[in-house]
Structure 1
């Protein structure tokens, strides 16, 4: 028996009702899910420790080495593990239960952070621990990103990613000054101990997480073959190819402009430490607000075009920063930069989670991490040379053009793709 006809008015009413229900998939909706709350709490507590580690590690390295080159060594210790281990981490994340991968990564990082809390007077130990902590993140992050879709509905992905991102940004804004004060008054060991404790709490929370992950198929291919399959998918899938190209261009820009923002503040805006702090705060305010505004778009926030538009917005901001000489204008631009960065990252993660088959997500997330860090390293090297040869404005003009190219390339190559990021072409 055929279904009764629906009048045009009735169809519109049903469609509008459905869209309103989808658009209400905000933070309250995902926070009502116990398993998501557990993951959110674990990620947030872990972020508290990361903020303490990030804030104090550069200060410690500077004290031990007395040189900017020594601080650059700590940055390399963060990047190199991604380049070495991402091809292995992705296939392992797709083979093993992701909760177990995350707990194991947390426990390994707990031991490393505790070692640094007790023994941080040797620069070799500091570099080794920084390397190990970054290596743990190489496994933890793609596992967490791949796990999230099994905890919430597809229409809730943007809200779920926004909740995690906003908590991370708020933690950085509020806790970075506290961590710096703790290190300067009580000593570096206490800040690193805080990081170790955060990994322990995160592991305990994750052990109780019951995720309904799909059963893993029996895999006979080696890890290296599986890794090549993921890179092949990035080459074959039109949306992933567009995202990879845009991200490579964006990382080639952002590595230098982020690291040299302090130089821009001093040489172009003539702002001291307080002005530089305000600039970082402006980015933080924008980064916190961006995901909250994004959740109001409902399913429209999973449009790949938003990722590329965010790159374009950041490109405009870099051009503005290279052109202006007043701090208030720069602060306003940096708020927009923060909004573009956070909303773009949330949409990017949500698109990957809904577009890529479940059994390939770990490899795809790891592949994008590899692209980002490789181009970030190139950007750091080229940015310093460019700044010394042509001045800081040249760095920001070039960075802005690269980001605008990333946005334009992505919008052009993805123009006829489905607007929600779904694709029947994502091969199994």
Structure 2
């Protein structure tokens, strides 16, 4: 009887294994912490918006959250990649999780009146300063955690299964985004701001516990025994940049990903206006309309695992980007919600294909000692591109394209449509550029 029970338990345990035990633990830990992040960010936005409901600077205060999160990606990320390549990645991830847990819990001091030490009576502007500081610190620690999580896949996942690994990670992140953003509003209305702090801290602690169970023997890097002075840091950073500049594959990926992020930055800024004005949907359905296309990302992550090995990862990458451009061109001129929803869902299918193929392409073109610097550089460049796209889109739609209204056959174009058409063109050109340089890898 005991033997039969143990056999049944082993069979069920095997069904829940994704690729292997180590990857499953990494996948679970990363996505649990991601759900906590999304809940926290959404509730934080709602809390600031509620507190500053009648203040003219409320939008600026909310935008400060995104700015505080993006700043470390510009300043810290390039140097973080140097240390990720020097340090043991498994240990780095555990340390970052513990530090992020402590940082998030520190926000309880300004949100809950504690008997021993409480800052809840501080003016709201000072509370905002504390929150922005904590977000900057959390984002800085993530610049060490995220490249480590991507680079360690080389050690725990065989090369032939890496596309599946990145696809599972990307699909789960889209599911986490849909779940986190959907429950954040309900949780905030019932429990308030403090519960999001506790849940986010608990998610980091859970991630630490799961990642701690990973069994891996990482090789000791040569850089670990070298001096860690400032000169050496800059020299290692320069070495990584030179390696990227000398690799055709990495140069191509860096260029296409920067254009892709630039286009998505433009698209995300105008999503609210496209949905409420061009598609004439009520504001109450805005969140649901944004969350529904994430199902396309989940579907795309499942599909890419089925045929990436047969057609080649490079071909999946550039074909998906070309398709994303064509789909965006069609979606940009829609005035009815259903065709637009289908278009955005297909866009997420294509996006999941490019995101799933990027990681394996980078790891294949990068030696182990450079992985942290390459992933960090890509993260920095894409963040800058996204911010530039966000700024340019907001500026053009508010100034030069604000009063544009063009009738072209049965289609009416305004500033939002024109920018979205430009987004589709940028994606298409990026895909053609990737095809031109990566087609030999297919």
Q: CA deviation at 1:314?
A: 2.4
Q: For each residue in 1:164-198, what CA deviation from the matched residue of structure 2 results, as whole angstroms up to 9, or x when unmatched?
A: 22222222222322222111211011012100110
How far apart, CA to CA, are the structure 1 residues paired with 2:234 and 2:280? 50
How far apart, CA to CA, are the structure 2 residues paired with 1:313 and 1:117? 46
Tell whether 2:76 aligns with 1:52.
no
- Structure 1 gaps of 5+ residues are 1-26, 420-428
Residues 19 and 165, structure 2, Cα contact 8 Å, conserved in 1: no
Residues 113 and 129, structure 1, Cα contact 8 Å, conserved in 2: yes
Instruction: Give the match for residue 416 of structure 2.
Output: 392
Tell whether 2:62 aligns with 1:38.
no
Instruction: Give the match for residue 99 of structure 1.
Output: 90
| Match runs of 1:11-410 below 5 Å | 31=18, 33-65=20-52, 66=55, 67-120=58-111, 122-218=127-223, 219=226, 222-300=232-310, 303-389=313-399, 390=401, 391-410=415-434
- TM-score of the superposed pair, with normalisation by structure 1: 0.87
Please, which moves more after superposition, 36-45 or 326-335? 36-45
Give aligned pairs, total.
392
- Gap change, CA 1:274 and 1:307, over 3 Å in 2: farther
After TM superposition, where is structure 1 displaced by more than 4 Å over at least 4 residues in a row? 27-30
How far apart, CA to CA, are the structure 1 residues paired with 2:264 and 2:19? 36
- Structure 2 gaps of 5+ residues are 1-13, 112-123, 402-414
- Gap change, CA 1:278 and 1:135, over 3 Å in 2: same
Q: For each residue in 1:112-160, what CA deviation from the matched residue of structure 2 results, as whole angstroms up to 9, or x when unmatched?
A: 2112244255111121122122112111110000001211111111122
- Gap change, CA 1:181 and 1:275, over 3 Å in 2: closer
Q: For each residue in 1:315-352, what CA deviation from the matched residue of structure 2 results, as whole angstroms up to 9, or x when unmatched?
A: 22332232110000000001111111112111101211
Q: CA deviation at 1:285?
A: 0.6
- Gap change, CA 1:302 and 1:119, over 3 Å in 2: farther
How far apart, CA to CA, are the structure 1 residues paired with 2:235 and 2:144? 18
How far apart, CA to CA, are the structure 1 residues paired with 2:172 and 2:18? 13
How far apart, CA to CA, are the structure 1 residues paired with 2:21 and 2:208? 16
Q: For each residue in 1:264-309, what CA deviation from the matched residue of structure 2 results, as whole angstroms up to 9, or x when unmatched?
A: 1112111113442343133211111111011111524652232222
Residues 117 and 190, structure 1, Cα contact 8 Å, conserved in 2: no
Residues 82 and 138, structure 1, Cα contact 8 Å, conserved in 2: yes
Provide the alpha-carbon RMSD of the alignment. 1.9
- TM-score of the superposed pair, with normalisation by structure 2: 0.84
How far apart, CA to CA, are the structure 1 residues paired with 2:169 and 2:189? 29
Instruction: Give the match for residue 413 of structure 1.
Output: 437
